[in-house]
A and B are shown apart, each in its own frame.
Chain A
Amino acid sequence: MFVIVTYDVNEKRVNKVRKILKKYLTWVQNSVFEGEITYGKLEKCKRELFSVIEKDEDSVYFYEHSCNERK
């Protein structure tokens, strides 16, 4: 599936988040990543992210882009 991830994270942790996302997706803009990823990989990525961010201060958004399957 194709996902777009955006985040708004406290400056102290923003680098950690960026480095994690870099392993899984392609960087497009500040605080925005996108790319093709499998469901399992995405879960793994989320788990890594949750161990870094502070839930009440930071936010990470995942958007799944569901286009029709390519031919």
Chain B
Amino acid sequence: MQKTLYITSNGRLRRKDNTLYFETETEKRSIDIENIEQIHIFGEVDLNTKALNYISQYGIILHFYNYYGFYAGSFMPRKKNVSGDVVVRQALHYLDREKRIFLAYCFVESAVYHMMRNLRERKEAEAFLNAIEDEWENGRFNISSISELMGLEGRVRNIYYSSFNQFLPEDFYMEKREKRPPTNPINALISFGNSLIYSTVLTEIYHTQLDPSISFLHEPSEKRFSLSLDISEIFKPLVVDSVIFKLLNNRQITLEHFDEDLNYCYLNQEGRRIFINELRNKLETTVRHRQLNRNVSYKGYIRLECYKLIKHFIGDQVYSPLKAWW
């Protein structure tokens, strides 16, 4: 299992002794470069081309986040797995309206399934669960365009988020979901978690033949690698939300882990550390896969989604999105 490295402190990444060192003012640490798959950088980190060249030899992806913890961009080494054939077929599925709606529907279906799964165990959220079910069952069979699907998804998501107030600590009351910038702690947590999952999915896509910019639910023109937005939909409720619930309900993250300013709110360094740690544990948790008959981590399931998409594109097996059965 390739590891993910998260750097939250300030320092310098450098190549030395044929491996990578992370140096801060007080300590110097060597990194076992052979086992690293991706590095998320939150602190102020210096690095030079010598380090970048070495990193790219190992196919390691660097993800950068700005001061507020928002995703800034990635350094991706030259792609080793390229297949024009897969990309062309992927594009064909975008161009064909029916085929595109099918895939977009799959992503939303799985997302809704996981949202309902999150609420199912909670007594307090029963009314909301029923409301989501009604909305979804009524809407899902009359979808004729992507925008209608997006609208339905938005409505479901609104109900879902409003149910949070029922079972999360009172400190974390949320009027509504707000992004850019998040104005209260819970929104800050959701945004931070989503940007982490987004780049994790991007890393997994990178290791397959898929083209991250051709997407189905989101418009490919959305300025980002939108395929990873599509796939993230599946894992946002499954991974990020359950991490948030756990951290808040166990009071591992409290209001003191947030810096609040006039109009916005974000996690401070300590809060980020706690969150990242829990997310890392979650992504490394394994569940037995029924067909493969071996244990697969949550991160592994992200990769498997990519493989399933490739199989769908080349006409091998029709895509069916992940629905957590455990």
Q: What is A's interface to B at a CB cutoff of 8 Å?
A: 19, 22-27, 35-38, 41, 44-45, 69-71
- Asked whether, in the complex, the Cβ of A36 is within 8 Å of the Cβ of B35, the reply is yes
Q: List, in ascending order, chain B residues with CB within 8 A of A22's CB.
A: 17, 19, 30, 32
What would 26 A/B residue contacts be, using CB atoms closer than 8 Å?
A19-B17, A19-B18, A22-B19, A22-B30, A22-B32, A23-B18, A23-B19, A23-B32, A23-B34, A24-B32, A25-B32, A26-B30, A26-B32, A27-B30, A35-B32, A36-B3, A36-B35, A37-B35, A38-B1, A41-B34, A41-B35, A44-B34, A45-B34, A69-B286, A70-B286, A71-B285
Main SS at interface, chain B: mixed
Total A-B Cβ pairs within 8 A: 37
Q: Give complex CA distance A33, B19 in Å.
A: 15
Q: Confirm or deny: B295 has a beta carbon within 8 angstroms of a beta carbon on chain A.
A: yes
With A19-B18, A69-B295 in contact, do A24 and B34 touch (Cβ < 8 Å)? Answer: yes
Q: List, in ascending order, chain B residues with CB within 8 A of A19's CB.
A: 17-19
Given contacts A23-B33, A27-B30, 7 further A-B contacts (CB under 8 A): A23-B32, A26-B32, A36-B1, A36-B3, A41-B34, A41-B35, A70-B286
Q: List, in ascending order, chain A residues with CB within 8 A of B30's CB.
A: 22, 26-27
Q: List, in ascending order, chain B residues with CB within 8 A of A69's CB.
A: 286, 295
